[in-house]
Chains A and B, each alone.
Chain A
Amino acid sequence: MRAYLTYLSKRLVQFAVVVFVGINITYLVTHMTPINPVEQSISAATAYGATSPEAIEMMRQSLRQLYGLEGSPWEQYVSFWKRVLVGDFGPSLSAFPTPVSQLILRALPWTVGLLLVSTLLTWFLGNLLGGLAGYYRNSRILKAFGVLSMGLHPIPYYVVAFVLLIIFGFLWPVLPISGGATMASDRSNTPAFMLDVAVHSILPVLSLMAVGIGGWFMGMRSLVSNIVTEDYVVYAELAGVKRSKILQSYVMRNALGPQVTGLALQLGAIFNGAIITEQVFGYPGVGSLLISAVHAGDYSLVLGITTVSIVAVSATVLLIDLLYPLIDPRVEAR
């Protein structure tokens, strides 16, 4: 138990360092971009008519005040960390004065819902079929599936998304092609609304799965085809242990470790959003939010989104590190 506590505290320190460094790098990058949010807003405001230089100067002054861009870079940096530690990323610059955290919280359920479903489904199906294909190497159906998924794998997922859009939105228009739910619907948690959300997610989920499944499939298949030659599998076969038992407890169980790590990393990356998928399907998630923030030079929002995803990725890695001894007893808590 004491060994585990030491292990835990070490991993926690590691987590804190990774998050700190990650956020600093993002802060630096966003603040060093040549985009000036103040000038961006002024040019937006003055695009449709002449304004006197004095008025523009006054506008500049008040915007700097509002955006928290006063003081030396060091003072700005310190006040940034003070706010981040209490979960406040300041007001959004492009949707002023809505707080960044509110924008992120509004988009997050869409993205997490969409990607959680597609990531888990993809992982489960890819590994199951890959494992079966590695073990039953002569199965024609599995071979055909391997060819199909390997063929789809290198295609960029937005291309698959467009193909799906053309098929189900144009040639055979049965599925909604855009948005997270029907626009004018009643957005309370009624079954009808849930169904509407589910129907809207079919195409994005399908396009993510079609492309993602190949990677898991091939990875698992090659893991399994190595494991089936291991002595403990050969020995169990020699002893007449049932094939289904061998597949489950000897082959899959040993192949699972690396795949679970891979899943954890992907789950962490969920908070980034699937940027292009969300763009293509007009999905109101974090990915779309990030794109619009970048276009508007809204670095408070960019910083907020990246901070959330840095923390999420590091936290899932931490979680997996802590849970790994349960999956593989050989990994000791050190």
Chain B
Amino acid sequence: MITELRPIPPSVELKAPQTAPLLTVDRLKAYYKTQLFGVDREVRAVDDVSLKINRNEIYGLAGESSSGKSSLIKTIAGAIRPPFRVVEGSVRFNFKDGERDIYKLSPQELSAIRWSHLSYIMQGSMSVLNPVRRIKHAFADFALPHVSVKGADFTRLVERHLKRVHLDPAVLQAYPHELSGGMRQRVTIALATVCSPEFIIADEPTTALDVIVQKGVLSMVREIQQELGSSVLFVTHDMAVHANLTDRLGIMYAGRLVEEGRTRDVFKKPLHPYTAHLISSLPRIGDEAPKKGLEGSPPSLADPPSGCRFHPRCPLAIDICHREAPQMVEILPGHRAACHVAQADPTRVEAVA
């Protein structure tokens, strides 16, 4: 019995995440290895991280400064330079035209998948555009090698894309310094998506913007993602942004992934004490209790604590936390965490904050 004809809401029914993951990061270890005056130093910025990102989803990555977020996404993007190097593990993309292991590609093969399959929105939108050249040259430099059209056809393609993301094609004639911060960020996002990449890495694209502009940029990211059906790895330390934008959320602490699940689940029922603290720090309407900070500071990645890296700051720490590093275990359906306490009794963590 059909009583009303409502359009099917997009996103959920039409473009449900497919099951085969687009990105598989497997036991990835990437360290900064330096040698100064014969003293070896090893900073374990990414330590044993495994995660999967599905097609057509926005995966959020959160964590405080120096938790290894940026190092992880640089490793995923294959954009690392010595002394930072991959020690173990793999980063595999399952693109439409075949699977690729980022660290088994030649430099030419890597250049070929950039922008067409894998693109990157860098932190610091203020300075990622060449100050002495017009925006149109940036589009030509970045996208022209990856599309089959040239000349006027290429310009039409770029203009069509700009219109699609609600930007005036006149920005092509502008120099970066003639645009506002928000505009520049939107141009950068347009630049990163002009070739319809399957996977987009966004490194703190909203951090330097005020909340009004931030909202515009976030809805732009969401809209483009829906339209292209790509996956986005979205990194920010701003939990409010994650709550509004991402489908799934991973929390990093001291170079490790400590919790991962659907964003809603993570916010509702955090399984790691660190996540619980992060979430309780968010302001809530009607909540007048003063916010308590977490004692201590993030550990040095050159000399991390034994066992669970969070144990020196953890109010729930028990004996085993000092000795053994907890593994990521699926505690609830689709919700993983690396915490001895939560693995024994998931309800204990909620009470912490």
Contacts and interface: CB of A to CB of B under 8 A. Distances in A.
Interface string B200-228: 00000000000000000000000000000
A140 interface: no
Contact of A236 (B77, B110, B119, B130): B130
Nearest to B146: A240
B115 A239 contact: yes
Nearest to B142: A239
Contacts of A327: 132
B132 A329 contact: yes
Interface string A212-237: 00000000000000000011101111
B122 A238 contact: yes
A24 interface: no
Q: Which of the listed residues B111, B119, B130 has the most CB atoms from chain A within 10 Å of its own CB?
A: B130
B175 A236 contact: no
Q: Which of the listed residues B110, B111, B115, B128 has the most CB atoms from chain A within 10 Å of its own CB?
A: B128
Nearest to A239: B142
B176 to A, nearest CB: 8
A232 B131 contact: yes
Contacts of A230: 127
A187 interface: no
A241 B130 CA distance: 13
Given A238-B120, A240-B111, A329-B177, A232 B142 contact: no
Interface of A: 230-232, 234-242, 245, 249-250, 253-254, 327-330
Q: Which of the listed residues B111, B120, B141 has the most CB atoms from chain A within 10 Å of its own CB?
A: B141
A232 B141 contact: no
A152 B124 CA distance: 41
Interface in B91-124: 110-112, 114-115, 119-120, 122, 124
Interface residues of B, number: 24
B130 A249 contact: yes
Nearest to B120: A238
B137 interface: yes
Interface in B118-174: 119-120, 122, 124, 127-133, 137, 141-142, 145
Contact of B142 (A234, A236, A253, A330): A236
Given A239-B119, A240-B115, A249 B145 contact: no
B79 interface: yes
**Which secondary structure characterizes the binding site on chain B?**
mixed
B145 to A, nearest CB: 7
A244 to B, nearest CB: 11
Contacts of B130: 232, 236, 249-250, 253-254
A248 to B, nearest CB: 11
Contact of B114 (A240, A254, A328, A330): A240
Given A250-B130, A328-B132, A330-B131, A241 B175 contact: no
B128 A231 contact: yes
Contact of A232 (B79, B110, B120, B127): B127
B133 A249 contact: yes
A330 B175 contact: yes
24 contacts: A231-B128, A232-B130, A234-B122, A235-B120, A235-B122, A238-B114, A238-B120, A239-B119, A239-B120, A239-B141, A240-B110, A240-B112, A240-B145, A242-B145, A245-B141, A249-B130, A249-B141, A250-B130, A253-B130, A254-B130, A254-B132, A329-B175, A329-B177, A330-B175
A238 B77 contact: yes
A231 B114 CA distance: 17
Given A231-B124, A238-B120, A249 B137 contact: yes
Nearest to A250: B130
Contacts of A241: 141-142, 145
A236 B124 CA distance: 14
B114 A253 contact: no
B133 A253 contact: yes
Contacts of A329: 131-132, 175, 177
Contacts of A231: 122, 124, 127-128
Contacts of B142: 236, 239, 241
Nearest to A232: B130
Contacts of B120: 235, 238-239
Given A238-B114, A239-B114, A242-B145, 18 more contacts: A231-B128, A234-B122, A235-B128, A236-B130, A238-B77, A238-B120, A238-B122, A240-B112, A240-B145, A249-B133, A249-B141, A250-B130, A254-B132, A327-B132, A328-B131, A329-B131, A329-B132, A329-B177
A254 B128 contact: no
A23 B120 CA distance: 59
Contacts of A235: 120, 122, 128
A35 B111 CA distance: 73
B154 to A, nearest CB: 15
Nearest to A330: B177
A254 B131 contact: yes
B177 A232 contact: no
A249 B177 CA distance: 17
Q: Which of the listed residues B114, B119, B131 has the most CB atoms from chain A within 10 Å of its own CB?
A: B131
Q: Which of the listed residues A238, A327, A329 has the most CB atoms from chain B within 10 Å of its own CB?
A: A238
B131 to A, nearest CB: 6
A239 B77 CA distance: 10
